[in-house]
Structure 1
Amino acid sequence: MFTSFLLQLLLFSVSLIPNSSAQSAHDTVTDPTKRAEYAFTTLQTWYNASTGIWDSTGWWNSANIMTMVGNLAKTEPKNQRLQKLAARIFANTVMQAPAKNPQPGIENEASRGQDVNKTFALSNRTDPEDWLDGFYDDDLWWALAWINAYDITSNPKYLHLAEGIFAAVTKAWPTRCGNGGIFWSWEEEYMNAIANELFMSTAAHLANRMDEEDRKKEYVAWAERTLDWFLSSGMINERGTINDGLTEDCENNDRTTWSYNQGVILGALVQLNKATPNPTYLALAACIAKAAIIELSDVDGVIHDICEPECGGDGTQFKGIFIRNLQILHEAAPDDAYAEVININAESIWVNDRDGNAFSVNWAGPFVRPANASTQSSAMDALVAAIAVH
């Protein structure tokens, strides 16, 4: 076992670009890859090698940061330093992070008396139960992070871990609304958009990574079943955007149209269309994306959530998730409107929301102190997306 000090040396000895706190030093940087790499160097000052997660933010947020790290690595497949650093972060996090799970094992209370599927349980901290905290959206953020880690490293243990997490979450199906969908948490008190979008996205992602046709079909079936339920649930409002969840009477609760609820479904539909092509999937994604752009953008085209600047530890992450998935949709179905939104937001982040190479919650500016790993990684989602559309 490495000591904390040795882990820090291991993880940071391959830093990409020397960091600088001087604002003027990087004012003239226009290359999107260099911008993202400067931001990444700052992000890693929050990475705690002894815990495997990023200080200053939470459990599910660190899963999202993992996904962003993977996406950055995908933009530079020939950059061996970046590939090795990403792989080391994945390897360290899979070993260390379970100790930081805020509620390990709590989901077992909801499944007492049921047969617990141990098919995917592995050794070396890749037992899916290590990653379950009672909130199914948290669980699935980690599943998507490990799928991305598999994409970068081709290490099957990450894919098996994601499968195991997904298998555990299937026990939350169905809810009391329409005999389908999953609950938000083990307490089974709320049916919301994000948990079900993530469930569909994870199933579709897994489908596209299965060699065995029967297993692929099983994941496709889960994704299609979830989409059918989601579309019938009423969470998509008359404006074409998605509200937070359902009432106890199984009606749209008309709560906030958070940016991440408009984003995760885009990536889910792209992956589902890849697994089983259907022209309605990308058409639906386009409708949601364009409705969201209208609803979330200010007059300059910068994306906002209603909570700004007091978004707490969770809301600061949402916009990056939207832009990340908008870029995924743009890659599958290119549209100048998507590229414009990505570029406008990445540019505004760099010009208006930067202190040194740190970024805060308001992408339109001014910089709001303090920045943290959540605000930094969310901004980085936009910077990384800009690399892809550059």
Structure 2
Amino acid sequence: MLLTSLHSLLFMSTAVSVEAAPDFKSEAESALNSLQKWYNKTSGIYDTTGWWNSANCITVLGNLAAVDPSTTSIATSAFANSLIAAPNYNLQTNKVVQGNYLTRSYFGPSIVATAATLNPAGFLNGYYDDEGWWSLAWIQAYDVTNDTQYLTTAANIFEDMKNGSTTPCSDGTSGIWWDKAETYVNAIANELYLSVAAHLANRMINKQYYLNIALGQWAWFQESGMINSQSQINDGLHSCSNNGGTVWSYNQGVILGALVELDKASPNITYLTTAKTIATAAIANLSDPNSVLHDSCEPNCGGDGSQFKGIFMRNLQKLQSAAPDPAFLKSIGANAASIWAYDRDSRNELSVVWSGPFVAPANASTQSSGLDALVAAVAFQGLLGDTIAS
């Protein structure tokens, strides 16, 4: 099989040349071109997917531009357009908590009773996690362009996120709600709050302000109980205790990037050590025998779950850059190779099950998620040809 051949090239030879490895750069560029077919210049977001997913699509454009400068013009054009256009399409977003705390997002009038958006404006809405995704997207846009309007936008979004630290589990400054209707305290909103604070500490003039928040948030998160005894992160809290919710890949991912940024802002060996422990547990528990990641919702992951694995790979890339580990490199290479071999159609569209078979139709969420894995492989293209299986 093709994937077996790719795995042999990538992982089982002690002297494989770089040329023998898949050309992840050209594959990522092809996947980018397919993703941009869904980009709507009028709305500033991506057709076929939702509001927070579009923030992740914008983020992956910046991540690819960072490792493949030939794609920079595509990224910068989308950044400039979405910054102006997307707020006009910040419609009421509703999320329904379904089984195992998987959510479904949609635009338009509320269909069922859910936490409604409160006063949507700019990149703010009724969900602190949505705001965190957009803040990280604009931080990545700033990193690519050095244009401070993006950083200012990210910082302004963060100030709204701070208002969520009123939960029964909070200490007044750390620990935020998932939503402004105050229905749930979950991992993803709190990981994003930590990540945005740490990112801003490394970029804003008033570093200490953001660093103090990040340090307090990390201390709170560790004490919250959401990291279980297997070093995996459950979905959230019930009565301020771990709710035993599903171990989603994105919850194992965002924390990695957050801790890498926190270590840059205030070096402490425990941050990267903890990140490596969480990443190792995630790879061990969420990967199949071919080292390909899966979420338990597959193949029916809805509009949200289809985004999750790419977020993990994006943040694993950050951790691999900061604290290299052969197991992380193997995971990056295996997932990227499998996506291209088994989860791609004739139009270079990528779907939700990375081990295949292709599940039609693909959409901007599944495409950007798969592209995240390809971007991570591009970042380490020169190393993947010589990786040895552990």
TM-score, normalised on structure 2? Answer: 0.84
**Cα deviations across residues 113-138 of structure 1 (Å, max 9, x unaligned)?**
xxxxxxxxxxxxxxx94111110000
RMSD of Structure 2 on Structure 1 (CA): 1.5
In the TM superposition, what are the counterparts of 1:185-196 in structure 2 within 5 Å?
185-196=179-190
**Per-residue Cα deviation, 1:173-226 (whole angstroms, up to 9, x for no partner):** 13211424000000111100000000000000001112x3xx101101111111
Rounded Cα–Cα distance in structure 1 between residues aligned with 2:91 and 2:322: 37
Matched, 1:163 2:155: yes
Q: CA deviation at 1:30?
A: 2.5
Q: Which amino acid is the alignment partner of residue 185 of structure 1?
A: D
Report the residue type matching 2:73 in the other structure. K
Aligned partners of 2:194 and 2:214 also within 8 Å: yes
Shift of residue 169, structure 1, vs aligned partner = 1.1
What secondary structure, in the 3-state scheme, does the structure 2 residue paired with 1:64 have? helix
Unmatched segments (≥5 aa) in structure 1 = 1-27, 109-127
Query: Which letter maps to 1:188?
Result: E
Structure 2 residue corresponding to 1:337, chosen from 316, 327, 332? 327
**Quick one: which of 210, 215, 229 aligns to 1:219?**
210
Aligned partners of 1:206 and 1:302: how far apart in 2?
Answer: 32
Q: How does 1:291-310 map to 2 (within 5 A)?
A: 291-310=281-300
| Equivalent position SS for 1:246 | strand
Matches of 1:29 and 1:336, distance apart in 2 = 16
Equivalent in the alignment of 1:32: 24
Please state whether the residue corresponding to 1:146 is helix, strand or coil: helix
8 Å contact 1:136–1:186 — kept in the other structure?
A: yes
Q: Work out which of the residue numbers 151, 163, 175 in structure 1 matches 2:167.
A: 175
In 2, the alpha carbon distance for the partners of 1:288 and 1:162 equals: 27
If asked which structure has higher relative contact order (CA below 8 Å, sep 6+), I would say 2
Question: Partners of 2:117 and 2:237 in 1: how far apart?
Answer: 24
Of 236, 259, 271, 1:245 maps to 236
The one-character-per-residue Cα deviations of 1:305-327 (angstroms, maximum 9, x if unpaired) are 00000000000000000011001
Match of 2:191 among 184, 187, 197: 197
Runs of 5+ in structure 2 lacking a partner? Answer: 1-19, 94-115, 382-390
Rate the CA distance shift 1:277–1:29 in 2: closer, same or farther, 3 A: closer
Query: Separation in 1 of the partners of 2:117 and 2:336?
Result: 39
Assess if the C-alpha contact under 8 Å between 2:170 and 2:176 holds in 1: no
Q: Distance in 1 between matches of 2:229 and 2:256?
A: 18
The question of whether the paired residues in 1 share the 8 Å contact of 2:90 and 2:121 is answered with no
Distance in 2 (alpha carbons) for counterparts of 1:297 and 1:74: 27
Return the letter of the residue paired with 1:103: Q
- The equivalent of 1:209 in structure 2 is 203
Asked whether the 8 Å contact 1:29–1:35 carries over to 2, the reply is no
User: How many pairs does the alignment contain?
Assistant: 337
Using the alignment, how far apart are the partners of 2:353 and 2:117 within structure 1? 35
The share of aligned pairs that are identical, in percent, is 56
Work out which of the residue numbers 58, 67, 70 in structure 1 matches 2:62: 70
Q: Does 1:88 align with 2:77?
A: yes
In 2, Cα distance between equivalents of 1:360 and 1:178: 38
Letter paired with 1:254: G
